[in-house]
């Protein structure tokens, strides 16, 4: 039995820990970051200096402005990125945007913002990069004599259907090129804007050229609002699945990430909800904490769910050999050990019970055919 004195000591230590986290360099007050996922704006790992706000000594109440989303343009030299990972079912991707306004605190793509000299924390969700002209570059790359067709994945790094797509339409332009070339594409998103492009995706899907993955982390609206603050409501994502499948577009329900001690009780209920609205298959990924994501996640957890902090982190360490993350291929997506095996077993059992497919048909590559360029002279034969 734990004594009251021991409990008091533990509580005092935890309060001290929370205060240390809040006073740490990079912490941004809650009133400035309403509607954002990260609590911090630490500089990236390549930066020589950190930014920190300090009182100026004047005893004046000075309200700080709310963080606003800012977008700047990038002229891409190349669009198709080639990846070599045995963990992934594709070897090439396209990123219409850098950074993502959805603000999912767990996003494994956050560290990529450090390459831009920006914070993987709040900058990742407020300092966005759009890539207008990407479609023209893509067309040039697909016409290259040495290009060999294979499915392109879009949304595996940042969401192509985040809010700024409504005005920028970079993804829409890219899809029009892929449709013209009869090129296979797999899309991962949480964004409702994908419904705008059903007129392109439905005919492509009918030809075996398109499929979509919709990720649902939790059905709990409050937890979703805290963990992925600017992503659509979970119920709205289920409506997206139904609308896509009703139009003949195959959808994979992605239970991702599974957070031990927080979202793991919902695995079966998420799968049931997805199957009910027409999801064809499903997949899952365990919470990943690469590079800066680890500190960002722990700061978020400290602020929102301090009572679950140790339980969640201990389970993650158990799955990664005592570390918070193991980047080895074959281990980073699922972890290993009793808990990881139990999660996989629960998932397989639920999929079987619900009739969700284990494997789906491969996207077709044999239809690929570059259209004639505008103004090009046709051959005589």
The confidence score (pLDDT) of residue 76 equals 93
Q: pTM for the full model?
A: 0.86
The whole-number average pLDDT for the span 125-138 is: 96
Strand partners, 123: none
The confidence score (pLDDT) of residue 6 equals 41
Pairing type for strands 81-82 and 92-94 reads: antiparallel
Token representation of residue 228 = 């992925």
Q: Report d(CA 168, CA 174) in Å as an integer.
A: 12
Q: What CATH class does 26-44+67-354 carry?
A: alpha beta
pLDDT tops 80 at residue 380: no
pLDDT tops 70 at residue 20: no
φ, ψ of residue 118 in degrees (nearest 5)? -115, 165
DSSP codes joined into one string, 33-65:
STT-S-SB-PPPTT-S--------S-----PPP
State the residue for tokens 């070339």: 181
- Tens of pLDDT, residue by residue over 177-220, are 999 999 999 999 999 999 999 999 999 999 999 999 999 999 99
Q: Report d(CA 179, CA 204) in Å as an integer.
A: 7
Asked if omega into 154 is within 30° of 0 (cis), the reply is no
- Interior/surface letters 30-48, b for 16+ CB within 10 angstroms, e for the rest: eeebeebbbbbbbbbeeee
The confidence score (pLDDT) of residue 377 equals 55
> Are 172 and 196 a contacting pair, CB within 8 Å?
yes
The confidence score (pLDDT) of residue 381 equals 46
142 against 7, higher pLDDT: 142
Q: Report d(CA 226, CA 302) in Å as an integer.
A: 13
Per-residue pLDDT band for 11 (boundaries 50, 70, 90) equals very low
At 200 the three-state DSSP class reads: helix
Token representation of residue 98 = 């850098």
- Tens of pLDDT, residue by residue over 37-57, are 898 888 777 776 666 655 555
- Tens of pLDDT, residue by residue over 298-316, are 999 999 999 999 999 999 9
**Cα 241 to chain center, whole Å?**
17
Token representation of residue 131 = 């890539």
Question: HSE on the CB side for 292, CA within 13 Å?
Answer: 27
State the residue for tokens 């294979």: 150
- Interior/surface letters 63-96, b for 16+ CB within 10 angstroms, e for the rest: eeeebebeeeeeebeebeeeeeeeeeebeebbbb
Q: Report d(CA 381, CA 374) in Å as an integer.
A: 19
């Amino acid at each position: 039995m734990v004594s009251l004195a021991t409990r008091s000591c533990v509580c005092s230590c935890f309060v001290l820990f929370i205060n240390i986290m809040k006073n740490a360099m990079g912490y941004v007050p809650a009133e400035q970051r309403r509607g954002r996922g990260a609590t911090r704006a630490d500089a990236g790992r390549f930066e020589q200096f950190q930014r920190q706000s300090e009182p100026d000594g004047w005893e004046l109440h000075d309200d700080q402005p709310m963080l606003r989303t800012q977008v700047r343009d990038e002229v891409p030299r190349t669009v198709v990125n080639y990846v070599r990972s045995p963990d992934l079912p594709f070897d090439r991707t396209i990123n219409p945007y850098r950074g993502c306004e959805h603000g999912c605190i767990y996003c494994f793509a956050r560290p990529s913002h450090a390459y831009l000299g920006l914070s993987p924390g709040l900058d990742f969700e407020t300092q966005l990069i759009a890539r207008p002209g990407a479609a023209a570059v893509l067309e040039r790359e697909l016409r290259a004599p040495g290009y060999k067709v294979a499915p392109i994945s879009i949304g595996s790094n940042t969401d192509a259907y985040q809010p700024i797509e409504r005005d920028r339409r970079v993804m829409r332009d890219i899809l029009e090129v892929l449709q013209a070339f009869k090129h296979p594409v797999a899309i991962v998103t949480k964004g409702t804007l994908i419904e705008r492009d059903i007129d392109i995706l439905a005919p492509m899907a009918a030809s075996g050229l398109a499929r979509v993955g919709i990720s649902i982390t939790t059905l709990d609206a409050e937890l979703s609002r805290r963990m992925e603050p600017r992503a659509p409501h979970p119920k709205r994502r289920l409506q997206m699945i139904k609308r896509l499948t009703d139009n003949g577009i195959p959808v994979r329900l992605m239970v991702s990430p599974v957070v031990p001690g927080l979202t793991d009780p919902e695995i079966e209920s998420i799968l049931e909800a997805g199957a009910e609205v027409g999801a064809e298959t499903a997949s899952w990924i365990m919470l990943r904490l690469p590079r800066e994501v680890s500190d960002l996640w722990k700061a978020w957890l400290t602020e929102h769910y301090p009572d679950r902090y140790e339980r969640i982190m201990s389970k993650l360490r158990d799955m990664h050999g005592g570390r918070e993350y193991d980047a080895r291929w074959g281990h980073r997506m699922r972890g290993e050990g009793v808990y990881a095996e139990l999660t996989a077993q629960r998932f397989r059992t639920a999929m079987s019970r619900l009739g969700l497919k284990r494997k789906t048909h491969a996207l077709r590559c044999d239809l690929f055919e570059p259209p004639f360029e505008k103004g090009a002279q046709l051959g005589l034969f």
